[in-house]
Amino acid sequence: MKPTALLSGECIEVNAVNVNQSCPVGFNTSRSLSFDVTAHTARTGLRWRRSVTSSDVLEPSEGAIARNGTTSVLLSDLVLDSAVTIEIVDGSNVLVAFTLRHY
């Protein structure tokens, strides 16, 4: 999957990713995950979500992203696979994706 290109002058950037436990993390382990996203775009309805290719259980499972400024997200991740991918989307268009490996 290739992320969708943004218009000239627009940007969406994952600035920080933090977890409360270092790798490796075993199956069925709960860990805290936080990340910051900075966006400057005319797009509305930006959201983050777990990729459909990931098995981990995230709580919350999705959330809104500010279209101008920085959004800080804190969630719980129940580890059920070797990695989890989080996507920043506008509707069904994936704009940014990042993967956190658990090993």
Asked if residue 46 has pLDDT above 80, the reply is: yes
State the Cα–Cα distance between residues 17 and 1, nearest whole angstrom: 22
Domain chopping of the chain, boundaries: 11-101
Q: Does pTM top 0.75 for this prediction?
A: yes
**pLDDT for 54-66, tens place per residue?**
999 999 999 999 9
- Residue 101 β-bridge partners: 83
- CATH class, range 11-101: mainly beta
Rounded average pLDDT over 43-49:
94
How far is Cα 45 from Cα 102, in angstroms, rounded to an integer?
30
Q: Are 65 and 44 in contact (CB under 8 A)?
A: no
**3-state secondary structure (DSSP) of residue 84:** strand
The predicted pLDDT at position 9 comes to 87
pLDDT exceeding 70 applies to what percent of the chain? Answer: 96
